Structure 1
Amino acid sequence: MMVFSFIWTPLLAQEFEPLRPRVPVEERSMARKMLPPFGSTKRATPSIIAEGKALYEGKGTCISCHGESGLGDGEVGRSLNPSPRNFTNCRFHARRRDGELFWILKNGSPGTGMVPMIPVTITEEEAWKILAYERSFCRDWQR
């Protein structure tokens, strides 16, 4: 008699249209003009990125959906369909301006599990720091 044993691991749902803008057309122009207090996430200092990492993993609870490595494979995120944003996708970072990402943190992303985080969970200042850290998942972003 043969006995088969395996570990069941759920497959991640696919990220929904990763390059499509999530900010509504009527608000996109305004959102694209918004900048972090430190000028740009490309200019974020190592200390800002470190603060963003601490917020991402702690108070902001981002890690629970987006995962430790930013792949969208966090413990909670594995049950979401579509799956959370994959922050290692450099094409996504190249297409989205800082203000668009901030808008998502403030307003959520309809049709996904992303809910508004500002001011319920984090402050605007903390959001900019988290975004600087999220951008760091794309190795090419800060070059």
Structure 2
Amino acid sequence: MPATPTLALVAHDAKKDAMVEFARRHQDKLAVFELVSTGTTGGRILEACPDLKVTRLKSGPLGGDQQIGAMIAEGKLQGLFFFVDPLSPMPHDVDVKALMRLAVVYDMPMALNPSTADILLRSARLQGLKTTSATPEVGSLSS
């Protein structure tokens, strides 16, 4: 695991405002993590929270979801915050499902809405990542 744990912040179009508000509300907690985000979501977060260090990847439909999936598979990501919009059709729905499947396969802490994200950010599992360099084993659960 890297010296600083990495979290991914992703949001569907209808949920980008919720993700920006989440980042604004938890700016101090998020600042201790490396952050990666898909293109537009990352840009919106940076506008609202310029002090956060966010690495922007490609837009989700253009490969950003797959980039984050690769980070999960390579053990380079320790948490996924993906605010999904279940009411809008997504042309890249297969990529979204693949990303969530990888998070489940690798036992990645994942929040799909702001309420769960609030809880996950306070969890012992993420808090422990900031103080230890041990990599959780696939299939382990400690929170």
The reply to whether TM is greater than 0.5 is no
Structure having the higher strand fraction is: 2
The TM-score with structure 2 as length reference comes to 0.25
The TM-score with structure 1 as length reference comes to 0.25
Structure having the higher helix fraction is: 2
